[in-house]
Amino acid sequence: MANFIVETSARHIHLTTADIETLFGKGAELHNKKDLSQPGQFACEEKVELVGPKGSIKVSVLGPARKATQVELSFTDARTLGLKDVPVRESGDVAGTPGLHLVGPAGEVELAEGVIIAKRHIHMTPADAEAFGVTNGQIVSVKVDCGNGRATVFGDTVVRVSTSYALAMHIDTDECNAAAAFGTVYGEIV
């Protein structure tokens, strides 16, 4: 087992139940538009407008509801919104990060913190980690070569191991564009 799928994770938002109700109305629930590769995760029909100091963009909501509202952007998205000093962080690590204004069809939320550039990572089950000879939290380098003259080695890739994961690497849209990693793409730990 030398290769694994590399997926591009476009800008999106995870919402708390309280923020779902504020943005979409009391008793609102998220509606599954499409299952994602990670078990139990899904893209929703619902979208939220992110409003920053310089502009706004609409993003998809990913479900299910989370303990904390979190926005995941690329550096390009952050510049478009006029956000400065957005850190590269692992999902869930939002302390001290910038916030922004969220607008939904039924209300608005002033997010004090929660905007990150997601650190590239590989989801693995314990069996996958054993097969690859890696451990949870380990930092690895991954080669992505689509045969298009843009072969790229992504350093600083964190391995995330859980029984609830499915094997896949996630990069953002800036990283995808840098490697021309369009369509079905595979990576290899080097």
Please say whether the beta carbons of 178 and 8 come within 8 A.
Answer: no
pLDDT for 146 equals: 87
Q: How deeply is 6 buried, as exposed, middle or buried, from its count of CB atoms within 10 A (0-12, 13-18, 19+)?
A: buried
- Tens of pLDDT along the chain (190 residues) come to 469 999 999 999 999 999 999 999 999 999 999 999 999 999 999 999 999 999 999 999 999 999 999 999 999 999 999 999 999 999 999 999 999 999 999 999 999 999 999 999 999 999 999 999 999 999 999 999 988 889 999 999 999 999 999 999 999 999 999 999 999 999 999 9
pLDDT for 114 equals: 97
pLDDT for 12 equals: 98
**Residues sharing a CB contact under 8 Å with residue 168, sequence separation 6 or more, in sequence order:** 4, 5, 6, 7, 37, 38, 122, 123
pLDDT for 85 equals: 94
Q: How many CA atoms lie within 13 A of 20 on its CB side?
A: 21
pLDDT for 1 equals: 46
d(CA 50, CA 111): 10
